[in-house]
Amino acid sequence: MKKILFAISTALLMFAGCKKTDIISEGSGVGTVNFSISADEGGYITKALPEVDIETLKISIVQKDGDYSEEWDSFSAMPSVLELSSGNYTVTASTPDSQPVAWDQPVYGGSKDFTVMVGKVSNVDLVCSITNMMVSINPSESFLKELSFFEVTVKSNDGSRVWTKTEYDEGKDGFFNVSPLEVWVKGERYDGESIKQQYLKITEVAAKDHHIINLDAKVTGSVGGIDFTIDNTVNDREENITVPGFEEIPVEDEEKPEEPDGGDTGDEENPPVSTAPVMEWASNPTFETMPISSDMDVVINISAQEKIKAFVVKVESPSAEFLATVSAMVSPENAHLDENYVNLDLINDATAIAMLSSLMPTGDALKGQTSVDFSLSELVPMINGFSPASGSIHTFTLNVTDEKDQTLSKPVSFKTE
């Protein structure tokens, strides 16, 4: 995870002569605020995104229990030092002039509550993450070979983007505010015949999602259609959706492409059913972010027809105290506190097995199993014991690998009230 830190100040005495802003309410004392802002650029593992320019982020500070509010068009325009009257505040950073739908526009944002106490220095570390979704298209060689023209339209609640071969060749990616997506694909073969328009709807969406639309076409002369695969590389959630096919008319004098290795399976219309692992959360079927409570139900059923070989839970939290506590439950090589996460290797890490077996399935309760009810109901409520910031998000990403090396990764997120 790449981080870019820009410290505005350290202590008031170190900035004698620097530009500063005093906001003093009658009858109240003041304190000094030091800000640092970092950009969490993690998530998009298939493509490199433009580096975030922290200096351009729009900044605002609002006092919750007072009249003070201030806004700066950019981080660079913010004063070097702030003296604020005592009280509770919220600082917010966001990408300026962002559009709900646009080409090549990752939008960053974040907010954090903080308290200013009289005569003390308040340190505020604000992490900005991507708040929108990325969509890419990935046509196969056979798709490009079969179609002389294609048009892929992706529509959200706010607008749409259209890819043709021109946009694909230019490497354009669409960015959308979070909402369900609808996808239409139409095209024309080299013999001039139009293919039947194909349709797909994507309902499971979240910030940081990267939806890759893999396009494939059956060879001319066969019965088939265009196969859509939605590959969410951030959440590692894969949905394999085959759209009903159409019968193509062979082009005269066109050489029929050779069959791939293995020859004709004789069952192209009925491809084999996937045996990859799947997850179901009965009390939260859509895996929406769940508020943290003492009696929460976080039991996720994991089915792995080919038997579980590896099971790792990646724990990410803005609470340094909680992460430090979790890191004490694993071997040192699985504690990545400098990168703000801890891996719970529940099959291969002897320390994690010994420390966590009373809270969740570990070891042989996972390895070689085809169905497991995996529970986080005991571990997650512990977060509230560390007084995390209100509204903070804590993510546990479940990573499962079966004995055929098929993988499934699913983030499970929780929010403090």
Split the chain (417 residues) into runs of 10 and give each run's mean pLDDT.
23 23 41 60 52 82 87 83 84 90 90 85 80 88 85 92 93 93 86 78 86 74 40 38 37 44 45 78 90 92 93 94 91 92 95 91 94 93 90 94 91 92
Phi, psi of 169, deg, nearest 5:
-65, -30
**Residues 163, 68 share a domain:** no
The residue among 224, 247, 270 that closes a domain is 247
CATH number, domain containing residue 27: 2.60.40.1120
Given this model, what pLDDT does residue 67 score? 83
CATH code, domain with 158: 2.60.40
Q: Is residue 408 part of a domain?
A: yes
* Domain identity same for 405 and 344: yes
- Co-location of 113 and 142 in the same domain: no
Assess if residue 267 is contained within a domain: no
Are 96 and 143 members of one domain? no
Same domain, 411 and 282: yes
Residue 352 lies in a domain: yes
- What pLDDT score was predicted for residue 50? 64
Same domain membership, residue 292 and residue 239:
no
pLDDT of residue 228: 40
Element housing 350 (H / E) = helix 350-356
In a domain, 94, yes or no: yes
Domain boundary residue, one of 74, 103, 130: 130
Asked if 289 and 415 count as a contact pair (C-beta separation under 8 A), the reply is yes
Instruction: Identify whether 252 is part of a domain.
Output: no
Q: Are residues 143 and 126 in the same domain?
A: no
Q: How far apart are CA 113 and CA 95, in angstroms?
A: 19
Q: Where does a domain end: 84, 108, 130?
A: 130
Domain count within the chain: 3
- Round to whole Å and give the CA distance between 340 and 406: 27
Element of type H or E holding 127 = strand 121-130
Residue-level pLDDT at 272: 56
User: In this structure, are 287 and 387 located in the same domain?
Assistant: yes
Residues 50 and 142 in one domain: no
Q: Say if 273 falls within a structural domain.
A: no
Verify that 184 and 204 share a domain, yes or no: yes
Closest CA to 376 of 410, 333, 402: 410
pLDDT at position 8 is: 23
Q: Whole domain around residue 183: which residue ranges?
A: 133-247
Do both 74 and 150 map to the same domain?
no
Q: Are residues 24 and 125 in the same domain?
A: yes
What's this model's pTM, rounded to 2 decimal places? 0.48
Beta bridge partners of 274: none
Query: Does residue 270 sit within a domain?
Result: no
Instruction: Determine, yes or no, domain membership for 259.
Output: no
